[in-house]
Chain A
Amino acid sequence: MANQHRPKPIRVLDCPVGTEYDEETFRYFLGIEQARAAREGHQLRILLATVEPTAGQSVPFPRAGAVRFFEALRLAVRDTDVMGWYRQGQVAAAVLTAPSGSIDVELTSQLERRVGDDLRRRMPRTLTAALRVRIVHQPVGEPSRARGTA
C-alpha cells in the first residue's frame, strides 16, 4: 500500500545535438501536443513514415537511411513541428502543429503527397520505393479530461 504513494522517479529527457528525438522524448512532446489540441478543440495532424519492402510488413530504418530521412524531414516541415521516433528505429514521425480550428482534409492530402515526394527525392534509391509516408488526423480527447503542461 505504501508503494502507491511513493513518488515516481523523475527521468531526464535529453539527446545529442543534431539527432532526432528518441521514442520517449517524442512521445512526451506528442502528449503535450495532444493535450494542447484537446484544450483548443482541434485534431492533431501526425506524419508517419515506415520502410516497407513488402506491403504490410515494416522493417527497421537502416541507420544511414534514418539520418537522411530526418535531414529531409527537417527541410519539409516547419520549425514549430516536433520530429522523432514514434517507435524507435521503426516508425519515424512528426507532429504537424496547427494554430487552431479544423484541419482541411484536402489540404492534408496535398501536403502528404508533396512531403512524401520531397522525402523520396532526398532518400537513398534503395529506400525510395519502400518508404511509406502518411499524414493522419488523430482525434483528441475531451478538453476537460486533458491535462497538459503546455
Chain B
Amino acid sequence: MSASVLQFPIGMDTLVRQVTARPPDPATSRDHGRPRAGAYVLGPRVFRDALVRERKRADRLAAPFAVLVVD
C-alpha cells in the first residue's frame, strides 16, 4: 500500500509507520488524488496566518523577509 494513501480506522503505530515509510516527493506525489501546491490560492484568513508565521520565523532566524504586493 502506498504510504500516502491511509486506510482508516488505523492505530497510531500503523499511522506512524506510514507517515515515516518513505520520503515524499513534493514534485510528483499526490495525497488522496489531490494536487500539490501550485493549484491553490490562499484565502484572506489563511494568507494572514501564513504571513504572520513567516514573519515570526524570519524574526526568529534573523532572516530577510519580503512581501510582494501587486496592486
Contact = CB atoms under 8 A, between A and B. Distances in A.
Interface of A: 8-17, 21, 24-25, 27-29, 31-32, 34-35, 38, 46, 48, 50, 52, 55-59, 79-80, 82, 86-87, 90-91, 97, 99, 132, 134, 136-142, 145-150
A130 B3 CA distance: 25
Contacts of A99: 60-61
A29 B50 contact: yes
A139 B40 contact: no
B67 to A, nearest CB: 12
Contact of A27 (B14, B34, B39, B61): B34
B12 interface: yes
28 contacts: A10-B39, A12-B40, A13-B40, A13-B41, A13-B46, A14-B42, A14-B46, A15-B46, A17-B45, A27-B34, A35-B37, A38-B26, A50-B11, A52-B12, A56-B13, A58-B10, A59-B9, A90-B9, A134-B16, A136-B19, A138-B20, A139-B22, A140-B23, A146-B25, A147-B26, A149-B37, A149-B38, A150-B54
Interface of B: 6, 8-16, 19-20, 22-27, 31, 34-46, 50, 52-54, 56-57, 60-61
